Structure 1
């Protein structure tokens, strides 16, 4: 019965328009509602969904919307994309396949192997099309450099992966090479390591 359900689901997904990326999945449990306008596929028991180079794993994954463009993951969520060079873990995750947009409304930990960056926070929005990440609430970000780790803290961090830039907003702090920089807004060029600060600036530099 499970084999029949899996094959039937694969036939449904194979009928999707060509403008969507190919999507494949697996799991120990599958439930489908194929009523027109209310199509939903629910995967449970070590659910896995692959969209292009992106792989999503969770306790439960729901596919819904037109052409199953919405992917909702719940419980022990992990995401890996070796082609784009990132991975993350969280308790829940929403992914819009057409917009290539990831949103996490829980504690999330991000690894960016391309830019040697790791970060954590309580909210994330990742626009994979533009390569931009926005994280909020007690954000901590680490960038590995030749002079040791650059530790960044702020209430909001905007990370442009393509442009290799950071923007720290609200109680922003950077600790690097035994120096400390504090301001309301701090901008960082990850390639040149140039740091710019605005608003209530403070710092300690060791000579």
Structure 2
């Protein structure tokens, strides 16, 4: 709340401070049984009508929901019990407890289903499993730890590179399923199929439907295959 206080200069603005304080108190209090939410910004506006409750955070906006912190140029919190959090403009997020961070042009966060949907130029880093993801649309189901990716998907883990139109990543099992012209490269080896499944822990790759691939033969293997003269 310090940022808001520094912006209050005249008596007219000063009268608005209790409103900001009450909004902050209300947001943190009503969610005590499920999750805790707090915020800060350069400017805060609010609509308190029963059917249209919303809070708009403008300029250096930041919202914290439990261990997830979201920052953006503008953030709107709205819906029954302030269920939804929408952020636009240089959006960044980090969950230190769950071990991931992201960047996006726009995100929608449904606190009831615990789902974060991201749009635009996206980057997501799973620091727990050392996985980097880029895509045009990402839906992260936090409770199940399932990440659904759509359009121009790229996943990198160690020396494994995955490219496809669609993908599903199970963080708990460390498994990826790729569809939509998937291509997986592991070192100098390349695999193509209708569907490709990758276990990032064991580095096992499973191919289904119209399988194609190329495997680089090691120098030692080539020497072993030479016939004795």
Runs of 4 or more consecutive aligned structure 1 residues displaced over 6 Å after TM superposition: none
Q: Indicate which of 132, 153, 176 corresponds to 2:163.
A: 153
Q: Name the counterpart of 2:3.
A: none
Unpaired runs of 5+ residues, structure 2, are 1-13, 218-229
Instruction: Give CA deviations for 1:150-180 in whole Å, capped at 9, x if unaligned.
Output: 1100000100000110000011001112110
Q: TM-score, normalised by structure 2?
A: 0.86
Partners in 1 of 2:147 and 2:30 — Cα distance? 29
Q: Is 2:50 the partner of 1:50? A: no
Cα deviation for residue 5 of structure 1 reads 4.0
Larger Rg: 2
Q: TM-score, normalised by structure 1?
A: 0.95
Q: Name the counterpart of 1:37.
A: 51
Secondary structure at the residue paired with 2:20?
helix
Cα deviation for residue 11 of structure 1 reads 2.2
Q: Indicate which of 32, 37, 51 corresponds to 1:23.
A: 37
Unpaired runs of 5+ residues, structure 1, are none
Alignment of 1:62-141 (within 5 A): 62-141=76-155
Partners in 1 of 2:132 and 2:18 — Cα distance? 42
Q: Which has the higher contact order (CA 8 A, sep 6+)?
A: 1
Q: Name the counterpart of 1:162.
A: 172
Q: Is 2:178 the partner of 1:189? A: no
| Equivalences, count | 203
Partners in 2 of 1:140 and 1:31 — Cα distance? 39
Cα deviation for residue 106 of structure 1 reads 1.9
Greater helix share, 1 or 2? Answer: 2
Secondary structure at the residue paired with 2:34?
coil
Query: Taking structure 1 as reference, are residues 23 and 187 closer, same or farther at Cα in structure 2, changes over 3 Å only?
Result: same
Kept after mapping to 2: 8 A contact 1:20/1:97? no
Partners in 2 of 1:17 and 1:140 — Cα distance? 36
Partners in 2 of 1:77 and 1:188 — Cα distance? 30
Greater strand share, 1 or 2? Answer: 1
Q: Name the counterpart of 1:8.
A: 22
Instruction: Give CA deviations for 1:122-158 in whole Å, capped at 9, x if unaligned.
Output: 01110000000010101011002xxxx2110000010
Partners in 1 of 2:194 and 2:121 — Cα distance? 23
Secondary structure at the residue paired with 2:202?
coil
Cα deviation for residue 199 of structure 1 reads 1.2
